[in-house]
Amino acid sequence: SPVQTMRRSLDRNIERQSNLLTIDNLFHMADDINRAIGDLVSVITEPQTTTSSNYYQQIITS
């Protein structure tokens, strides 16, 4: 019946949209992880010219 056809089409569209949202969320999470790793690498490779207490203070305040 036309109602069943319309319902199937609607279900398919909803399923596609939720898949797109999931993919979009994954890309956002990957971007956040990439940024966090970049920050971590810059902290690790930063020259250790400051004292350790100042070093930890920088991490806490940034």
Give CA–CA dist 18/31, Å, rounded.
20
User: Quick one: pLDDT at residue 56?
Assistant: 61
- pLDDT tens per residue across all 62 residues of the chain: 888 898 998 888 888 887 777 888 889 999 999 999 999 999 888 887 655 555 566 666 65
pTM: 0.47
Residue 46: in which H helix or E strand, if any?
A: none
Q: How far apart are the first and last CA of the chain?
A: 61
User: Quick one: pLDDT at residue 32?
Assistant: 94
Residue 18: in which H helix or E strand, if any?
A: helix 2-45
Give CA–CA dist 25/32, Å, rounded.
11
User: Quick one: pLDDT at residue 59?
Assistant: 63
